[in-house]
């Protein structure tokens, strides 16, 4: 008999979570103005809002917390992080920041000015926010296939190199750098192939531009390259990661994902001049250059996390859990962005709640329904997240209207996944009866999804 796949860790510490009743959830959801971000986490049974900062650190990471050096300048922990970044990513220069968007803020303060255009494969919302806040344009050049959830492609997060070349031919003078987001979160946790990365590098070289990697889930991307791209099957994850970053000038990192820490991030670059310019902004916005918003103990845990997060056994356990949830949904016929992503399953809310008009936010509606059904919290990746157009102030309706179920690293078991799938099936079975969604009562001009207030359409 073939042995089944099993997790490459055992559990040493647990955190109790609490079930609730439907009546309780109805009240809590209404009190939160139907914004899932506004729920107390105690009101959530299984929390798939994000995989960011929600993972379980290893015993080795926890032990490193005790060894943190909290010196203001020149801390040992800073040098531990520096060594990990050099060894794993091969960057000589780096700046710690408190998380990924802080890294974007610091780096973009150096690189982006009003009127610039930044082409990339589906800029993440904070990335887009930091670009648009500077009155620049985030130009999406992701392949068109990413917009059809039912097309199964190994590298659905790729740039369309033709679109990129055309954009460069037209706007090169306004482009400070090309962005590569690995994995492509917005398109469904979909990876970018090494072939595509090389293609982006070639175009950047032709126009003498830099390539910046948004690296939140770079290790998951490397796992997909190893398991899906010809020629990489016998390479280690660390070898693949090294090659990926050989094509980058700089990176921003939200370490809360693939470095498996609860808080932290960084910028890394090969260019001394860029580093020196970024130092000033880091000191202003984050902290002195050897801690940048992180405590020494957290820098230690991050250094270990970078190493553990780029080990095949860990990644295989993680990504197979996401796949497991995907297979359950296949059994029930529930449509999601194919293939299953690295960190999450993205339910196609337009297909599930086809009776809810786009203007009434089907993905948000599905998220609320799933929460009411079983206390499972996902997050809308659709029109609310897309914000209004910065110029016309009209709502933007992206092609994809998704409910993301992001799976924290090393946190839940497959029994939890079974419950999530069953809860979704219950909602799916009564989908035809769900005909009304929500309207916005109150919103902020940028990144409104975090704080938006909604009410049910009557």
256 binds ligand F0G (CB under 6 A): yes
282 binds ligand F0G (CB under 6 A): no
220 binds ligand F0G (CB under 6 A): no
Segment interacting with ligand F0G (CB under 6 A) among 94-102, 169-177, 286-294, 330-338 = 94-102
142 binds ligand F0G (CB under 6 A): no
214 binds ligand F0G (CB under 6 A): yes
254 binds ligand F0G (CB under 6 A): yes
Residue among 105, 109, 121, 126 that touches ligand F0G (CB under 6 A): 126
Q: How far is CA 27 from the centre of its chain?
A: 30
Question: d(Cα 413, Cα 209) in Å, to the nearest integer?
Answer: 44
116 labelled catalytic:
no
Smallest CA-to-CA distance from 398 within 406, 388, 407, 390 is with 388
**Contact between residue 456 and residue 34 where contact means Cβ atoms under 8 Å apart:** yes
Residue among 185, 269, 290, 300 that touches ligand F0G (CB under 6 A): 185
Indicate left, alpha or beta for 44 from its phi (over 0: left) and psi (-120 to 50: alpha): beta
Q: Is the dihedral of CA 256, 361, 345, 425 positive or negative?
A: positive
Which residue in 124, 247, 371, 412 is the catalytic one?
124
Q: How far is CA 158 from the centre of its chain?
A: 15
Greatest extent of the chain over all pairs of C-alpha atoms, in Å: 63
Nearer to ligand F0G, 101 or 156 (CB): 101
314 binds ligand F0G (CB under 6 A): no
216 labelled catalytic:
yes
Q: Six-digit token pair at 52?
A: 């960011």
61 binds ligand F0G (CB under 6 A): no
Segment interacting with ligand F0G (CB under 6 A) among 98-106, 231-239, 267-275, 334-342 = 98-106
User: Mapping DSSP to helix (H, G, I), strand (E, B) and coil, where does residue 416 land?
Assistant: helix
Which residue in 69, 125, 249, 258 is the catalytic one?
125
Smallest separation (angstroms) from ligand F0G to the CB of 220:
11
Residue among 124, 218, 224, 266 that touches ligand F0G (CB under 6 A): 124
Nearer to ligand F0G, 216 or 345 (CB): 216
Q: What is the DSSP string of 326-391?
A: HHHHHHHT--BSSSP-SSEEEEEHHHHTTTS-GGG-HHHHHHHHHHHHHSEE-EEESTTTT-B-TT
**Contact between residue 221 and residue 192 where contact means Cβ atoms under 8 Å apart:** yes
Instruction: Say which DSSP state 40 is in.
Output: -
52 binds ligand F0G (CB under 6 A): yes
51 labelled catalytic:
no
Residues noted as catalytic: 72, 124-125, 214, 216, 257, 449
Task: Note the residues at the interface with ligand F0G (CB under 6 A).
Answer: 50, 52, 99-101, 124, 126-127, 181, 185, 214, 216, 254, 256, 265, 406
């Amino acid at each position: 008999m073939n042995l089944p796949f099993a997790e490459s860790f055992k559990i040493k510490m647990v955190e109790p979570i609490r079930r609730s009743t439907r009546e309780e959830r109805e009240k809590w959801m209404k009190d939160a103005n139907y914004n899932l971000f506004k729920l107390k986490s105690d009101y959530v049974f299984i929390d798939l809002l994000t995989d960011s900062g929600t993972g379980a650190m290893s015993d080795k990471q926890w032990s490193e917390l005790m060894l943190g050096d909290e010196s203001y300048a020149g801390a040992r922990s800073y040098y531990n992080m520096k060594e990990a970044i050099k060894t794993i990513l091969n960057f000589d220069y780096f700046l710690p920041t408190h998380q990924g968007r802080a890294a974007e803020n610091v780096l973009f303060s150096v690189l982006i000015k009003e009127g610039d255009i930044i082409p990339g494969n589906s800029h993440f919302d904070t990335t887009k926010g930091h670009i648009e806040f500077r009155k620049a344009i985030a130009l999406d050049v992701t392949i068109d296939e990413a917009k059809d959830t039912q097309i199964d492609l190994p590298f659905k997060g790729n740039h369309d190199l033709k679109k990129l070349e055309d954009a460069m031919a037209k706007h090169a003078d306004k482009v400070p750098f090309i962005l590569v987001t690995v994995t492509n979160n917005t398109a469904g946790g979909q990876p970018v192939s090494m072939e595509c990365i090389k293609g982006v590098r070639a175009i950047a070289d032709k126009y003498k531009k830099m390539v910046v990697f948004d690296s939140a889930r770079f290790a998951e991307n490397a796992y997909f390259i190893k398991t899906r791209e010809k020629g990489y099957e016998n390479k280690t994850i660390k070898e693949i990661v090294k090659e990926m970053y050989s094509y980058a000038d700089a990176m921003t990192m939200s370490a809360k994902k693939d470095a498996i820490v609860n808080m932290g991030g960084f910028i890394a670059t090969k260019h001394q001049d860029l580093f020196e310019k970024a130092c000033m902004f880091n000191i202003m916005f984050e902290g002195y250059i050897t801690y940048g918003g992180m405590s020494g103990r957290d820098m230690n845990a991050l250094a270990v996390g970078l190493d553990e997060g780029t080990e095949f056994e860990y990644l295989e356990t993680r990504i197979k859990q996401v796949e497991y949830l995907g297979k359950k949904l296949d059994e029930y016929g529930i449509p999601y962005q194919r293939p299953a992503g690295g960190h999450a399953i993205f339910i196609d809310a337009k297909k599930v709640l086809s009776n809810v008009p786009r203007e009434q936010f089907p993905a948000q509606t599905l998220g609320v329904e799933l929460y009411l059904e079983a206390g499972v919290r996902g997050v809308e990746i659709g029109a609310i997240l897309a914000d209004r157009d910065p110029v016309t102030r009209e709502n933007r309706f992206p092609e994809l209207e998704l409910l993301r179920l992001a799976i924290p690293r090393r946190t839940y078991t497959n029994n939890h996944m079974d419950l999530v799938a069953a809860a979704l099936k219950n909602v799916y079975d009564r989908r035809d009866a769900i005909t009304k969604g929500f309207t916005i009562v109150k919103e902020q001009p940028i990144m409104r999804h975090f704080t938006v207030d909604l009410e049910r359409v009557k």
